[in-house]
């Protein structure tokens, strides 16, 4: 059985891990949620009595899955009986691929379209719409267990509905599915075919869910059906923080332990993690102002007594924002001695960040930045070429060995799924072949094309005559080419270089630039947030605006360890000419802010 050393966990963490039954764990920011989840998975894996059983962990992002997987391996625990990944990856591997024949829309085969392909299809359809015009950004939608929900402003809804109907018809006619249909068809298969949940319930000894507050109704239903079919032979470990439930616009919500227990036919023990090891007492006190649900959170870490600087600026004009961000970056790095990679700049949407990222990179040539517009291709985890690119663009170093070995296993599995006879090909052989290839090429896409060609030739794979791999290849390079062309047109020619491609998987060393939603789960010494304006935070279409504003501000503030800078800049105007005003919840917060940084 997996055991841990003294002082590796606190009492609350140990109790959650050692609890033999199902657990519903509410964890405040910085409370060691990921460590607790990691150790719980390690314990469950060590307790398995059968080689046929599996432990399943559902994470919100692939990045989180990779991090937890690596941590478990570093603990010396065998992960061969662990499946970990996003709910979309879970549904593809465990439901759609093996049972597609039982669904009328999937029985003749299907292909998953990536985000870039969906955007391209929708944008083409949207160009046909007039009065008012719409773009693919207006066409967000998701399925509940009983209907489809469309996210858009009312004056555009009919055009969006028309565009989506054409989009869905196109997908059906071409036997394609997007990420939303992955979940919806999986839910339908589970609902209409009891043997599927019965089989999965007999395989999984436990199901763990991270960030439950971002989970959707269909996802809860899928997992609950499997747990219920296990008839008490599987446990659940559900972790999250309802105060960080910021994905309501796409259907995410924090279910109660009682409600999920009824769905699963399980009895949950409700537990809490309330010790914050991340932030100073001043930071913890500040984000406590934005609790939607009462939750205890106490600073106990190494920076508890750090004299945090917390500022709130409503005077800076939009035209002066770049200069103010530069000043705050320099203050934190050059005066407070915070490393650049411990600084994060946050705004509500990518559209607010992409141009700013490039302007900051020009203004601060001695700093590097990680942000929107700085990645030359989409992180499409299901694309074969993306899987191989991770190996191609990283170096054979001891620190990356375990990760590259896992990636190699995923590449081999993808080849097998594409009906390639992998024979005796093992992970070490694949890595050795990749490591032996040397290509002198500065253009990133050309470099990848040449590398893929050579490595597949070494492996004896004729990818041009393999429909599956060819489709993945064409999709990866076409979408990457469009992405690069758009970024180069905006003035960042270096993004096309091989060196820029390599930075995608390199350890981050520069200042991070992220949306509020994208920064969830991360932590930095200094956080600088702008665009904190009513209509953006919260978004104008959010149903419960005050609650959503609180959750968004809670997420922003709780990312900071030491310093926090909040900006509601002047000068931003809406489409109809009215000025954006500071976020009301933020303006109403009574706090002794520092005068300036």
Report pLDDT digits (tens) over 455-479.
Answer: 999 999 999 999 889 988 998 998 8
Domains of the chain as residue ranges with CATH: 11-96+193-273 (3.40.50.300), 111-174 (no CATH), 281-372+508-587 (3.40.50.300), 384-503 (no CATH)
Q: How far apart are the first and last CA of the chain?
A: 51
Mean of the per-residue pLDDT values of the chain: 92
State the DSSP H helix or E strand holding residue 238, giving kind and residue range, or none if neither.
strand 235-240
Per-residue pLDDT, 503: 82
Q: Which residues neighbour 365 within 8 Å (Cβ) at sequence distance 6 or greater?
A: none
Q: Are strands 140-143 and 148-151 parallel, antiparallel or unpaired?
A: antiparallel
Give the burial string for 35-49 (b: 16+ CB within 10 Å, else e): bbbbbbbbbbbeebe
pLDDT of residue 88: 95
- How many angstroms separate the CA atoms of 140 and 118, rounded? 11
Contacts of 16 (CB under 8 A, 6+ apart): 23, 25, 36, 40, 237, 271, 273
CA dist 136 and 119 (Å) reads 6
Question: How many residues would you count in the chain?
Answer: 597
d(CA 17, CA 36): 7
Interatomic CA distance for residues 253 and 244, integer angstroms: 10
pLDDT at residue 491, rounded to an integer: 61
Residues of the chain with pLDDT under 50: none
Gap between the Cα atoms of 469 and 461, Å rounded: 10
User: For helices 401-417 and 384-392, what crossing angle results, to 10°?
Assistant: 150
Query: Which candidate, 420, 422, 414, places its Cα nearest to that of 383?
Result: 414
Phi (first) and psi of residue 28, to 5 degrees: -75, 165
What the block records as the tokens of 5 is: 């050393």
Give the global pTM: 0.89
What Rg value do the Cα atoms of the chain yield, rounded?
24
As a dihedral over the C-alpha atoms of residue 170, residue 147, residue 549, residue 57, rounded to 10 degrees, the angle is -80
Residues in CB range of 185: below 8 A, 6 or more apart? 96, 103, 105, 106, 177
Q: Residue 308 in 3-state DSSP?
A: coil
pLDDT at 494: 72
Cis peptide leading into residue 538 (ω within 30°)? yes
- Partners of residue 573 on adjacent β-strands: 579
């Amino acid at each position: 059985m997996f055991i841990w050393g003294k002082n590796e966990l606190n009492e609350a963490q140990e109790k959650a891990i050692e609890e033999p039954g199902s657990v519903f764990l509410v964890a405040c920011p910085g409370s060691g949620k990921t460590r607790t989840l990691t150790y719980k998975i390690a314990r469950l894996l060590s307790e398995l009595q059968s080689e046929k059983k599996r432990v399943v962990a559902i994470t919100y992002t692939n990045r989180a899955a990779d991090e937890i997987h690596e941590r478990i391996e570093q603990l010396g625990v065998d992960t061969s009986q662990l499946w970990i990944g996003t709910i979309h990856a879970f549904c593809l591997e465990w439901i759609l691929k093996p049972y597609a024949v039982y669904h009328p829309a999937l029985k003749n085969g299907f292909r998953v379209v990536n985000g870039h392909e969906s955007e391209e299809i929708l944008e083409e359809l949207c160009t046909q719409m007039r009065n008012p015009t719409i773009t693919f950004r207006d066409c967000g939608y998701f399925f509940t267990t009983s209907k489809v929900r469309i996210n858009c402003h009312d004056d555009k809804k009919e055009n969006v509905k028309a565009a989506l109907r054409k989009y869905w018809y196109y997908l059906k006619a071409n036997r394609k599915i997007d990420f939303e249909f992955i979940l919806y068809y999986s839910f339908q298969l589970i609902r209409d075919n009891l043997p599927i949940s019965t089989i999965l319930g007999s395989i999984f000894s436990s199901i763990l869910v991270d960030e439950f507050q971002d989970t959707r109704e269909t996802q809860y239903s899928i997992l609950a059906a499997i747990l219920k079919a296990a008839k008490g032979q599987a446990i659940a470990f559900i972790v999250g923080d309802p105060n960080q439930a910021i994905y309501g616009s796409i259907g995410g919500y924090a279910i109660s332990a009682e409600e999920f227990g009824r769905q699963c036919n399980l009895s949950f023990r409700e537990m809490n993690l309330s010790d914050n090891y991340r932030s100073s007492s001043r930071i913890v006190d500040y984000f406590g102002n934005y609790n939607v649900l009462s939750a205890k959170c106490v600073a106990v870490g190494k920076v508890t007594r750090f004299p945090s600087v917390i500022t709130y600026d409503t005077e800076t004009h939009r035209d002066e924002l770049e200069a103010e961000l530069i000043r705050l970056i320099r203050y934190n790095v050059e005066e407070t001695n915070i490393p650049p990679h411990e600084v994060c700049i946050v705004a509500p949407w990518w559209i607010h960040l992409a141009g700013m990222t490039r302007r900051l990179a020009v203004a601060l040539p001695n700093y590097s930045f990680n942000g929107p517009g700085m990645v030359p291709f989409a992180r499409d985890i299901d694309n074969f070429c993306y899987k191989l690119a991770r190996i191609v663009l990283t170096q054979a170093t001891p620190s990356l060995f375990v990760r590259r070995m896992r990636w190699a296993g995923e590449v081999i599995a993808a080849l097998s799924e594409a009906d390639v006879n992998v024979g005796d090909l093992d992970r070490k052989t694949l890595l050795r072949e990749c490591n032996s290839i040397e290509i002198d090429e500065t253009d990133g896409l050309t470099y990848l094309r040449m590398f893929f060609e050579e490595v597949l030739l070494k492996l004896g794979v004729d990818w041009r005559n393999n429909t599956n791999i060819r489709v993945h290849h064409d999709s990866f390079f076409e979408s990457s080419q469009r992405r690069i062309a758009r970024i180069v047109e905006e003035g960042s020619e270096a993004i096309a270089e091989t060196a820029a491609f390599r930075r995608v998987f390199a350890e981050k060393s520069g200042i991070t630039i992220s949306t509020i939603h994208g920064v969830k789960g991360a932590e930095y010494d200094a956080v600088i947030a702008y665009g904190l304006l009513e209509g953006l935070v919260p978004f104008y279409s959010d149903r419960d605006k005050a609650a959503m504003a609180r959750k968004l501000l809670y997420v922003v503030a709780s990312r900071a360890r030491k310093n926090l800078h909040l900006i509601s800049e002047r000068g931003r105007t809406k489409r109809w000419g009215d000025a954006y005003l500071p976020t009301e919840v933020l303006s109403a917060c009574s706090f002794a802010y520092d005068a300036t940084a």
